[in-house]
Amino acid sequence: MRRVIPLAPPLANHWAWYDKRALSLLFAAALTVLANTAISPALPDLQAMYASQPGAQWLTRLLVPAPSLSVIFAAPLCGSFADKYGRRPLLLSGVLLFAIAGTIGMVLPGLVSIMISRLILGIAVAMVMTAQTALTGDYYTQPKRSQIIGLQISARNFGGLVFILIASFLASLSPKAPFAVYALALLILPFLLQSIKEPQITVKQQQQTTNDTQQAASSWRLQLVILALLQLLTNLCFFILPTQLPFYFDSLGKSAAILTGFALATIMIMGGTSALYFSKLSKRIGNRRLLSLAYLFMASGIALLSTQNTLAIFVGVAATGTGYALASPIFPAIALQIAPAQQRGRASGMITTSIFMGQLLSVFASMPLINTIGYQATFAIIASFLCCLSLIAALLHFDQNEQA
C-alpha cells in the first residue's frame, strides 16, 4: 500500500526551531533579502536630496541593483574561499561586513560614495549566501536538507515582507533612515558566533567524495552548469514582475504605486507559504516533476498578466510567486546533492551567481521586447518559454533516488 505523505507543514513542532544551527542559517537567509529592497521606498526622496549632483537620476535607480552586480563576480571567489579556508569565517565576516556596508549609507555625503558602499554590500551578500548554502549541505542530509532549504526560501519571503514595511516607515521619517535596517545583522551576529561551528568532514564523507571524484569527475560539473543555467533563466523570467509591474499598471491607467505594493506583498506571502511545502512535495513527486510543475505555475501566472483585468493580474501574480518559490529551493538542493562534499562551496557560489545574474539580465531581456511588441505580447512569449522549460525539466534526471 502506497504511503501517503501529508502536505500540511507541522511548523509548531518543527525540528528546526530546536536546532540552533538551523535557526542561524534561517536568520542568515532572511538577512540577504535586505540587500536590494531596504532602500527602495526612499529612492524618490534620495533623488530629490541629491538632485544637484551629476547623474543623480541614474545613480539613484542603480542603488537597488548595485549589490547584485557585485554578487555575480564575488560569489565564485567566495565559493573557492569557503572550500579552502572554511565556511564559518566566511559567514561571520560576511554578516559583519553586511552591517557596516549597509548602515554606512546613513552618513555618506553623496550618491557616488553610497553607490560604492552598495557594491561592497553585494560582496557581503555573496559571502553570506555562499557560506550558508554550503553549511546547509555540510550540516544536514536528506530529508532535513530539503526542509531547511525550503524554510530558507520561506524566511526570505516573509522576512522581505517585514523588512519592506519597516523600511517604508523609516523612509517616511528621513530618506537615509532605511539604511539603519542593515544594523539588524549585528543582532544575529552573537547567535551565529555561538551556534555556527566549522563542519568536520567525516571519514565516510571523505570516502564518498573520493568515489564521486573518481567516478564522475566531469559529470557533476556539467550537471551543475545546467542547474545554474536553469536558475538563471528562472530568475530572468520571474523578475519581470518586480521590474515591470509598476510600468505595466501605469500603462493600464491604474494606480501603479498602490497596486505594485499589493502585488509584491502577494508574491512574498504566496512564496513564503508555498516554500514551506517544498520538502514534502519534493519527497512525494521528485524534484524534476516539481520543477516542471513550478514552471507551469509561473507560465500560467504570467499569461494571466496580459488580461489587463486587475483581479486576473493578481491571480497571475499569486501563481507566479507560488511557482517561483517552489522552483527556487530545487537548484541548491540538487547542487548540494550532486557536488562532492569538499566542493560544496564552489557549487554554492555558482548557484548564487546565477540567481543574481538572472535578476540583472531580466531588465535587458524584457525591455527590448516591451518596447517593440508591448506588454501583452511579451508576457505571452515569456509564458511560452516557461512552458518549454517545464518540458525540459520533466526530462532531466539529476536525482539519484528520483521516482521513475
Q: Is the pLDDT of residue 382 over 90?
A: yes
How many Å apart are CA 135 and CA 196, to the nearest integer? 9
| Rounded Cα distance, 52 and 47, in Å | 9
- Which whole number is the average pLDDT over 175-201? 88
Q: Is the peptide bond before 143 cis (omega within 30 degrees of 0)?
A: yes
Residue 404 identity? A
Q: How high is the mean pLDDT of the chain?
A: 83
Segment (H or E) for 364: helix 344-395
pLDDT of the residue at 343: 85
Contact 144, 121 (CB under 8 A): no
- Highest mean pLDDT: which of 205-209, 242-246, 338-342? 338-342
- Most confident range, picked from 161-175, 205-219, 224-238, 254-268: 224-238
* pLDDT for the residue numbered 402: 45
Q: Which residues contact 38 (CB under 8 A, 6 or more apart)?
A: 102, 163, 164, 167, 178, 179, 181, 182
**Domains parsed from the chain with CATH numbers:** 20-47+57-199 (1.20.1250.20), 217-399 (1.20.1250.20)
pLDDT tens string 120-150: 999 999 999 999 888 988 888 878 888 888 8
E-strand ranges in 29-173 read: none
Q: How far is CA 89 from CA 84, 195, 326, in A?
A: 11, 13, 31
Q: Are 66 and 192 in contact (CB under 8 A)?
A: no
Looking at residue 238, its pLDDT comes to 92
Q: What's the confidence (pLDDT) of residue 360?
A: 83
* CA atoms of 16 and 34, how far apart (whole Å): 23
Measured from the Cβ of residue 368, the count of other Cβ atoms closer than 10 Å reads 10
Predicted confidence (pLDDT) at residue 1 exceeds the cutoff of 50: no
Position 203 scores a pLDDT of 38
Secondary structure percentages of the chain, helix, strand, coil, to 5: 80, 0, 20
The pLDDT value recorded for residue 398 is 62
pLDDT of residue 293: 95
pLDDT class of 6 with cuts at 50, 70, 90: low
Between 28 and 33, the higher pLDDT residue: 28
Kindly indicate the confidence band of residue 340, based on its pLDDT and cuts at 50, 70 and 90. Answer: confident
Grid cell for residue 190: 552573537
Task: Provide the pLDDT confidence category of residue 214 given band limits of 50, 70 and 90.
Answer: very low
User: Is the pLDDT reported for residue 404 higher than 50?
Assistant: no
Measured CA distances, 319 to 4, 127, 238, 268, 287 (Å): 25, 31, 11, 12, 19
Rounded to an integer, the average pLDDT of 378-403 is 82
Which pLDDT score is estimated for 403? 39
The reported pLDDT for the residue numbered 120 is 95
Residue 339 reports pLDDT greater than 80: yes
pTM of structure: 0.81
C-alpha 181: how far from chain center: 19
**How buried is 8 (Cβ within 10 angstroms: 0-12 exposed, 13-18 middle, 19+ buried)?**
exposed
Burial-class residue 39 by CB neighbours within 10 Å (0-12, 13-18, 19+). buried
Q: Determine how many CB atoms are found less than 10 A away from the CB of residue 229.
A: 12
Q: Give the pLDDT score at 377.
A: 93
Quote the pLDDT of residue 253.
81
Is residue 5 scored above 80 in pLDDT?
Answer: no
